[in-house]
Structure 1
Amino acid sequence: MQHLRIATYNIHKGVQGLIFNKRLEIHNLGHAVEQFDADVVCLQEVRKVNRQEAEYFTRWPQMPQADFLAPEGYEAVYRTNAVTRHGEHGNALLSRWPVLDHQHEDMSDHRFEQRGLLHAEMQVQGRSLHVIVVHLGLIRASRVRQLAQLRRYIARRVPDDALLVVAGDFNDWGHLVHRTLGSVGLHAHAQARVPTFPSRLPLAQLDHVFARGLRPVGLSVPNGPIWRRMSDHLPLIAEFAWPDAP
């Protein structure tokens, strides 16, 4: 394997629409994740359980969404960011490769937004690969502090010479994320940015995949009617070459 394929997707808890116009999209999302054919899928706004939605939808899955979305042969890792009145949701990682270890760190900056990061280490063809899934806050000052926390976490928990991917929904419309992560050797694809939000009329790229020790070779955003209806974000798929790949 010369290339590593990473997808990131905010799935909006598997439900679209409001109140009486709500529709369940988790089954379509399952087909979408399979189509990515990614080595690692990073997901945000993933529900472990929601009692209200389980009563409302007759086809609500009986298992946590991370397990439901994992294609056959993939390992699913989930950690909770937010606990609500009816359940809980957080970040998930689906890996084609064996997961050696995983950690979670709370990144909540204030009491109105519960945020966190999911860190997994996996073995990919004899190499150790670290992947961190993030979902940052809506307020810029919060994102500044969360990015500083992310840098401290990486310095503390990821060896300097390890292959590292950081992916997720950064909720940032400007250059803050690129500048901050670039200062610690994490870089995204150099091509023009590709909008991922809002899915019906994409204007901004809120979703990114950064890497250290891997060479970016391709970036794509699936688009079209079915993709625009499944979530308020479009998925982002990034390909990287291994350090010794031609």
Structure 2
Amino acid sequence: MTHEFRVLTLNIHKGFSMSSRRLVLAQIREQLRASRANLVFLQEVVGDNERHRRRHKHWPADTQLEFLADTVWTHHAYGKNAIYQHGHHGNAILSEQPFVAWDNINVSVHHFSQRGFLHGELAGGIHLVCLHLGLLENERKRQTEQLVHYLQHNIDEQAPLIIAGDLNDWRKRCHRRLTEGLGLQEAHEVIHGQCARTYPLIYPVLPMDRIYLRGFKVRHCERLHGAGWRQFSDHCGLMTDLTLKHAI
């Protein structure tokens, strides 16, 4: 079992450019591969969409998740959250190591905002949680409390843990609950003293995307905002290099 991890999180905007006009899945896959990440946390991944399948010539024959994972990340999990008449989308985790278990937890507060978090466990007791919280502050507060309750009752407090995704938490209230209440570290804050500004992509001023951890040493963390990353999504990606402190 490896003790070194490169973790990347990205809201892929359902596979479209920031303007939502161009399908850019191929470019996303190219950049993910080039990152050499062995754990990838993705939000707004489309599981199926009949309308897009009809309209876009290069829509993948399988799911977006399988297209992005290809032969690089042979293990992956998908959590269906938003379900509509013509399809569905949700969170996903791509991993080079196999999952021993995974589950998708529904944390929707309003019928018009379907949300969840995806919990996977790797060999060695390493836990991964991919999440995308709601846009409304009260919604995020309730979802954060659901997350805290779930972690406290389902994951050993000594177990290595990585939580990554789009928190929509520009006021950092959820951030304080996770760091002060659970004692988690945020990777970019450890290295740079503050959470990364990741939204909007064209001029990022709001700290929306995070990587929280427990049981790891942070060696490096960077916001992905170079030329290759500006072709898609409306969020910047975030990537960190971690070393597992000790196996349980």
Give the TM-score normalised by the residue count of structure 1: 0.93
- The answer on whether the counterparts of 2:222 and 2:240 sit within 8 Å (CA) in structure 1 is yes
2:232 alignment partner in structure 1? 230
Matches within 5 A, 1:187-206: 187-189=185-187, 190=190, 191=192, 192-206=194-208
Determine the structure 2 residue equivalent to 1:179: 176
**Is 1:89 aligned to 2:89, yes or no?**
yes
Q: 1:137 aligns with which of 134, 137, 140?
A: 134
Answering whether residue 10 of structure 2 is matched by residue 9 of structure 1, we say yes
Contact 2:217 2:245 in 1 (8 A): yes
Q: How does 1:49-128 map to 2 (within 5 A)?
A: 49-74=48-73, 75-123=75-123, 127-128=124-125
How many residues in Structure 1 have an aligned counterpart in Structure 2? 240
Q: Tell me the percent identity.
A: 34
CA deviations on 1:29-70 (whole Å, 9 max, x unpaired) are: 111111121121000000011010111111110111111101
Contact 1:200 1:229 in 2 (8 A): no
Residue 194 of structure 1: how far off its partner (Å):
2.2
CA change 1:17–1:196 in 2 (3 A) is closer
Letter in 2 for 1:238: T
How big is each residue's C-alpha offset from its partner over 1:120-159, in whole Å with a ceiling of 9 and x where there is no partner?
Answer: 0012xxx221000000000011111100000011112111
In structure 1, what is the equivalent of residue 214 of structure 2? 212
- Aligned residues of 1:34 and 1:71 also touching (Cα < 8 A): no
Q: Structure 1 CA distance, aligned partners of 2:237 and 2:167?
A: 13
Q: Judging changes above 3 Å, is the alpha-carbon distance between structure 1 residues 146 and 242 closer, same or farther for their aligned structure 2 residues?
A: same
1:167 equivalent to 2:164? Answer yes
Question: Tell me, which stretches of 5 or more residues in structure 2 are unaligned?
Answer: none
Matched residues in 2 for 1:130 and 1:176: separation? Answer: 23
Alpha-carbon RMSD: 1.6
Report the TM-score when normalising by structure 2. Answer: 0.92
**Counterpart Cα distance in 1 of 2:240 and 2:72:** 21
- Please, which runs of 5 or more residues in structure 1 have no aligned partner? none
